[in-house]
Amino acid sequence: MSTAETLAAEVLKTGTLAGLPDGHFIDGEFTRPSHNQSMESFDPGRGEAFATFAAGTRANVDQAVESARRAFENVWRDTAPVERARILQRASGLILENIDRLAVAESLDSGKPLNEALGDVRGAARCFEYYAGACDKLQGDSFPLAPDYLGYSIHEPVGVTAHIIPWNYPISTTARGLAPALAAGCTVVAKPAEQTPFTALLLAEILVQAGLPDGVCNVVTGTGADVGAPLTSHPDVDHITFTGSVTTGQAVMTAAAREVTRVVLELGGKSPVVILDDCNRDQALDGVMGAIFENAGQICSAGSRLVIERGIHDQFVEELVRRTKTLKLGHGLRNPDMGPVNSAAHLEKIAGFVDRARANGSDIAVGGAVAADPETGKGWFYEPTIIDRAAQIDEVVREEIFGPVLTVQVADDADHALTLANDSQYGLVAGIYTSDFAKAHQLARRIDAGQIFINEYFAGGIEVPFGGNKKSGFGREKGIEGIKSYCKTKSIAARIA
């Protein structure tokens, strides 16, 4: 067995992962919470608590923000870009050196299959590697003024940045925000979701081991009410990056408005996968399966709406159902085809959507029930589910379920598919499968989404900007656009005559 599999086997035997941090990470070290209270973290594959972590308060947030402000003004913003690059590059290497422990912690905390968690950790390392290369490439412009004048611009770090991290991709989203912020010269206070606190804490420790000065990266754990709200409304925070629900994002935006704080919001989606009748069938089937059943469908950019031309609908859905029936559920550390959902409350929410659809007469082609780990009878599982021939007005088509539930909508032609794809309050991503590249790019231009995948769902990587339109939010992460989110442009004009 690999080291990750050996460690996973030990965790399955003991029920926990030894040596997990139980304090906040502030000013370069782990610290106890101000009132010495803790919370439980649950293993979704068993539905049982496996560790405790610090329950933060406003006082902890104040302490972390003060540390980040001090480090920004005294150290980090004036650290040479090339030195910032070297630290981030070392961090990338250390993440890979610790990949097995990080991946097991991620799988145990979130529920996702171990292989998916390993991929997430590799992606986090790549994120730091990418932005290490960007530190000394943040170049300004010169402006063509009259001969007696000199005009130019420079990019300056915005300051102290707050990062509200979701539970579905904890280490990925942490890295996606922290790496560009640090590369730009900003300091960080991160608040991981209370369901998945550990990899953010472990990552902060790795950054200090890589040479990051004390106070540049801080992590405060706890609830949204006790930690998230004080952080996003803090007067000494200069920028907020938030990933989560529309409702919470609206609250973050309201809090930010009071202090005129900059925000980047990624608020989820209801993304269409458009399948035209000239597609490569196997390629499209593979893409649809991964788009909705990876991480049990708990992905903001999941392809949760299949929009398919009528001529191939029956055969395509029949094969999709056949493949779905073969998926094996199980504890994430056993590397099943699909793991559990993250919490009992979320399981109840997913089941509610499907139960209401069934009661309204929807065609549940496969799945549609709560399940359990076949080895233990425990855990928070939902069967991979397909709802066929869903109407555009149906709740399961309009609302984000955030689970392994695919709705199928039938389109008469490409124009009808475009209409169905765009008839949504969300606009995060979309997929297109067709052999006609002209038609693919025509659709890509006309679909209202922040990112389009053609003939491979989730194509691209850290190099490609990511973010949404409409109620999926605004601002962009990843790519060079991602680092610009943490910069403010200063223009300088001088008379030199």
Query: Which residues are the active-site residues?
Result: 266, 300
d(CA 112, CA 327): 14
In order of 161, 265, 459, the CA distances from 482 in angstroms are 13, 12, 18
Would you tell me how many other CB atoms lie within 10 Å of the CB of residue 384? 27
Which residue has 């919370």 as its token pair?
39
* Strands of 325-418, DSSP E: 363-366, 370-371, 381-382, 385-388, 405-411
Question: Which CB contacts under 8 angstroms, 24+ apart, belong to 385-394?
Answer: 385/354, 386/317, 386/320, 386/321, 386/324, 387/354, 387/357, 387/362, 387/363, 388/317, 388/363, 388/364, 389/363, 390/357, 390/362, 392/420, 392/423, 394/357, 394/360, 394/362
Name 179's Cβ contacts closer than 8 Å, sequence gap at least 6: 88, 127, 128, 130, 131
- CA distance linking residue 99 with residue 409, whole number of Å: 40
